[in-house]
Amino acid sequence: MKFIVLSGSPKGVKSVTLQYIRYIENAFPQHELKVIHVTQRIRRLETDRSAFDAVMHEIGQADGIFWATPVYYLLVPAGYKRFIELIAENGAQAVFVGKPAAILTTSVHFYDHTAHNYLHAICDDLEMRCLGHFSADMYDLLKAAERKRLEAFATLFFSEATGDVPLPKRFVLLNRPEFRYRPGRRVKSVDSGRHKVLMVTDAINPDSNLDRMYQHLRRCFNGCLGVIDLGALDIKGGCLGCLQCAYDNTCIYAGKDAFNAAYRDRIMRADILIWAGEMTDRYLSSRWKQFFDRSFFMGHTPSLSGKQVGMIISGPLGQNANLRQIIEAYMEMQRASLVGIVTDETGDSAVIDAQLIALARRLIRHADQQFVAPATFLGRAGTILFRDEIWGRLRFPFRADYGHYRRLGLFDFPQHHWPSRLRNALLLFLFRFPGLRRKINQRMKDEMIKPLQKYLRTH
Ligand SMILES: Cc1cc2nc3c(=O)[nH]c(=O)nc-3n(C[C@H](O)[C@H](O)[C@H](O)COP(=O)(O)O)c2cc1C
């Protein structure tokens, strides 16, 4: 059988992910796996319709598809996202209907599940038969057990691709009712005071709901307000995955386009950020994705720490829990404060007006208080994962991150916490004796709140 591999790495043949495909190819010589480097070729596919059509023709002839991509910023690389957008823009969805699909990613398992959810939802939208997911760590191929697992995955995929296993959809179609937002004329604006407010938008369609929401929110602030239009900003291309930035945060594009300077000098210096974007398929636009990917030059450090962030999204975010989780996780990892997200999904202009002005007020109030909510599992688990990686196997090449993590005290390993280690040793020893265990258990609740009560008395 013949399968098409839609390869997502900007590194082309030097992709880590591609080595997993090569492994499958070697293990199953009876099948043909044709690789198309869609991210690497995205410029061409975007501008040359015959090149895009040739890819669609190949897919049409194939018995199944591998979506094979690295995870980039909790999703797929911007170029891959753009390719998915082109399928809809060029009306090529029919080519995919009924085709068996497998999703294969490599990553360090940081929000690989949100990338998989995204690709699975795309398969469901395209009415493909998504038969399986495989999320490999970058270096799993070095382990015999993982190679065996990969072979089992491919065996199952190849055998089920021929059959007609009935598969339930995981993601229902998004419902986007027609609605034109008409902002009210009167705006009671708020004073941004000493806070630097910066809006970042990709309001690509000038007369869209997003554009009108963003213009209305702009009017809600009096005082100096900066704007970055991602559509107009000189961004030469997506992240190349070259890791040149890992040494000292200097991107390979530095001095060649305007992105790095805009990020460092404007975004990182703002107090309040307002990000505006339109839902394009199951995420924001690929332009926004490029923004996130390119910010990788700042490494794994929380470069937006302490900022207050409001978002305006045009689209049914309430039906897209995966996107909301991506946004929340991103903000928590950044140690930024996600104050609120206003969408147009209520379908009521007056409600949206009220929510926009409320968002403006809340942003100022949060900035006054310098409030950043404590991280939930999303931020906490991600931070621990990065802590271990940057201290361990990723210390090289991420030299700059290692320095930042040390300075910021992010290497907070539990084995360095001597008071709890000593307490554990003592109490675990005493726990062995039934009489003492009974006594300790009797005091457990009191002892748990005792250290906290010390602070209650002082207020
Ligand atoms: C810009 C960028 C963003 C990344 N984002 C993530 C991520 O969100 N989660 C993760 O686990 N790994 C992330 N990674 C690591 C890659 O997924 C990983 O190195 C992958 O194996 C690279 O595959 P490739 O060589 O096929 O491109 C990121 C790497 C880059 C360069």
Query: pLDDT averaged over the chain?
Result: 96
Which domains, ranges and CATH numbers included, belong to the chain?
2-162 (3.40.50.360), 190-369 (3.40.50.360), 417-457 (no CATH)
Calculate what percentage of the chain has a pLDDT beyond 70: 99
Is pLDDT above 60 for 408?
yes
Task: Name the residue at shortest CA distance from atom 14 of ligand 1.
Answer: 72
pLDDT tens digit string along 197-233? 999 999 778 889 999 999 999 999 887 789 999 999 9
Predicted pLDDT of residue 164: 83
- Across 347-386, b (16+ Cβ under 10 Å) vs e yields eebeebbebbbebbeebbebbeeeebeebeebbebbbebb
State the closest ligand 1 atom to the C-alpha of 16, by its place in the atom list counted from 1: 25
| Long-range contacts formed by 123-127: CB under 8 A, 24+ apart | 123/67, 124/169, 124/170, 124/171, 124/173, 125/171, 125/173, 125/281, 125/282, 126/87, 126/93, 126/96, 126/97, 127/93, 127/96, 127/97, 127/98
Protein residue with its CA nearest to atom 31 in ligand 1: 241
Tell which atom from ligand 1 comes closest to the C-alpha of 241.
31
Q: What is the pLDDT of residue 71?
A: 98
Q: How far is the CA of 303 from the centre of ligand 1 (A)?
A: 18
pLDDT tens per residue, range 322-353: 999 999 999 999 999 999 999 999 999 999 99
**pLDDT beyond 60 at 459:** no
Reported as a single tens digit per residue, the pLDDT across 364-380 is: 999 999 999 999 999 99
pLDDT for residue 166 = 86
Minimum-distance ligand 1 atom for the alpha carbon of 296: 1
pLDDT in the model for residue 185: 85
Cα 431 to averaged position of ligand 1 atoms, centre (Å): 45
Residue 132 · residue 101 · CB < 8 Å: no
CA of 392 to the centre of ligand 1 (A): 17
Ligand 1 atom nearest residue 18's Cα: 26
pLDDT value, residue 203:
75
Q: Of ligand 1's atoms, which has the minimum distance to the CA of residue 7?
A: 26
- Distance between Cα 72 and ligand 1 center (Å): 5
CA of residue 250 to ligand 1 center, whole Å = 18
- When mean pLDDT is compared across 35-49, 334-348, 445-459, the lowest value belongs to 445-459
What's the confidence (pLDDT) of residue 205? 82
d(CA 51, CA 53): 5
* Element housing 101 (H / E): strand 100-107
Give the pocket of ligand 1 (CB within 6 Å).
9, 11, 15-17, 70-74, 106-112, 138, 239, 241, 293, 296
* N-term to C-term CA, the chain: 73
Residue 207: the pLDDT is 87
Task: Determine the pLDDT at residue 458.
Answer: 59
Task: Evaluate if residue 382 carries a pLDDT over 80.
Answer: yes
